[in-house]
């Protein structure tokens, strides 16, 4: 799912292309992508773009007359900038927004249609699309701690809950926690003030660093290839690969459709966190530490020479 850094770079690219341009029409390849009825696509056509903003993980295009186009990409939705009047791709094309400067297309890979387009009238109606989470990049330590400890959750849950924090999802939460050297299952109310401050600093640094990287990757063009799995991430999507800081293999917890990646040595004091499905299967045979896990790996996987084969005993003739 595109998160705060991805959405930020999308917005910057759009700002350079459609600010002050006119929205000429909206084409819907899939009628279900439009989740609102008022105003209609015909009513917003012809209005000029007066601004753009981020609302959590949503992209908001502000039109004159206090109308807004709200795009929620969800997991597999992506945006593409094309020449004016460009055709939508057959299977994955959902909608096209034709501006006087070019065409913005919305696509979604896979069979599930989760991406959404809303047309909204007025700031009050727009506010209903805001989950209300705190913006990490502007957060003060005391406000951040208050938001984090309002309810008792694991850090992973708190970082990815849009009602608590704005714009962070599965991928960047893993990167933030690794940078902060904190366990994803640590409880929010158990954090010391020093740990809370470290987490906020890690969040700001990680998100800012990734915004800068994605800007460099786009190099002034429209960002393509937006993905939650990047080879230069520290832990997210890198199960089994070496942690860039300590070299220990990256571990994971799988729950439903989500995967949490972490470094046991850097974040949990060497303790392995139980994967629900696998630990339920293995029960007492589940390794508790990296050392136990290492002992269970085959010798060849550890880089050790295999034991010489025993000589076969010959039977009596």
pLDDT band at 86, cuts 50/70/90? very high
Q: Is residue 315 part of a domain?
A: no
Domain hosting residue 75, numbered range: 4-127
Cβ atoms of residues 276 and 254 within 8 Å: yes
> Measured in whole angstroms, how far is the alpha carbon of residue 205 from the centre of its chain?
16
CA distance 196 to 40: 45
In three-state form (DSSP H/G/I as H, E/B as E, the rest C), the secondary structure along 225-267 is CCCCCCCCCCCCCCCCCECCCCCCECEEEEECCEEEEECHHHH
For the segment 239-298, what is each residue's pLDDT rounded down to a tens digit?
A: 999 999 999 999 999 876 778 999 999 999 999 997 655 555 445 554 566 566 556 555
For the segment 12-57, what is each residue's pLDDT rounded down to a tens digit?
A: 999 999 999 999 999 999 899 999 999 999 999 999 999 999 999 9
Residue 225 pLDDT > 50, yes or no?
Answer: yes
pLDDT value of residue 312: 42
CA distances from 241 to 147, 163, 249 (A): 34, 33, 5
Regarding whether 207 and 80 lie in a shared domain, the answer is no
List, in order, residues 6 or more apart from 289 with CB less than 8 Å away.
264, 270, 271, 272
Residue, of 256 and 4, whose pLDDT is higher: 4
Give me the CATH number covering residue 71.
3.20.190.10
pLDDT value of residue 207: 97
Regarding whether 197 and 141 lie in a shared domain, the answer is yes
Instruction: Write out the DSSP string of 86-115.
Output: PPPPTTTEEEEEEETTEEEEEEE-SS----
pLDDT value of residue 112: 83
For the segment 47-79, what is each residue's pLDDT rounded down to a tens digit?
A: 999 999 999 999 999 999 999 999 999 999 999
DSSP assignment, residue 316? P
Residue, of 295 and 1, whose pLDDT is higher: 1
Instruction: Please give the tally of structural domains in the chain.
Output: 2
Q: Is residue 79 part of a domain?
A: yes
Give me the CATH number covering residue 151.
1.10.8.50
Taking residue 179's Cβ as centre, other Cβ atoms within 10 Å add up to: 21
């Amino acid at each position: 799912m595109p998160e705060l850094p991805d959405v930020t770079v999308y917005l910057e690219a759009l700002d350079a292309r459609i600010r002050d341009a006119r929205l000429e029409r909206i084409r819907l390849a899939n009628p279900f992508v439009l989740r609102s009825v008022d105003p209609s696509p015909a009513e917003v056509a012809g209005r000029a773009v007066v601004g753009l903003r981020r609302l959590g993980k949503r992209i908001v295009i502000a039109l004159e007359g206090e109308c807004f186009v709200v795009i929620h990409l969800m997991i597999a939705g992506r945006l593409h900038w094309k020449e004016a009047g460009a055709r939508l791709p057959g299977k994955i094309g959902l909608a096209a927004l034709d501006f006087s400067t070019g065409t913005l297309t919305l696509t979604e890979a896979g069979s599930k249609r989760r991406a959404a387009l809303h047309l909204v009238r007025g700031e009050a109606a727009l506010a209903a699309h805001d989950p209300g989470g705190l913006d990490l990049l502007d957060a003060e330590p005391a406000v951040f701690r208050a938001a984090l400890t309002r309810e008792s959750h694991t850090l992973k849950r708190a970082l990815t809950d849009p009602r608590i924090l704005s714009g962070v999802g599965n991928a960047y939460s893993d990167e933030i926690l690794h940078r902060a050297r904190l366990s994803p299952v640590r409880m929010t109310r158990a954090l010391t003030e020093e740990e809370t401050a470290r987490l906020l600093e890690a969040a700001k640094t990680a998100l800012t660093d990734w915004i800068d990287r994605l800007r460099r990757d786009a190099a002034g063009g429209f960002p393509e290839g937006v993905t939650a799995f990047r080879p230069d991430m520290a832990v997210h999507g890198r199960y089994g690969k070496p942690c860039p800081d300590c070299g220990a293999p990256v571990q994971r917890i799988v729950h439903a459709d989500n995967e949490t990646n972490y470094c046991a040595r850097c974040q949990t004091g060497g303790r392995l966190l139980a994967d629900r499905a696998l630990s339920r299967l293995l029960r007492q045979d589940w390794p508790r530490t990296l050392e136990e896990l290492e002992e269970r790996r085959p010798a060849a996987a550890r880089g050790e020479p295999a034991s010489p084969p025993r000589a076969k005993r010959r039977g009596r003739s």
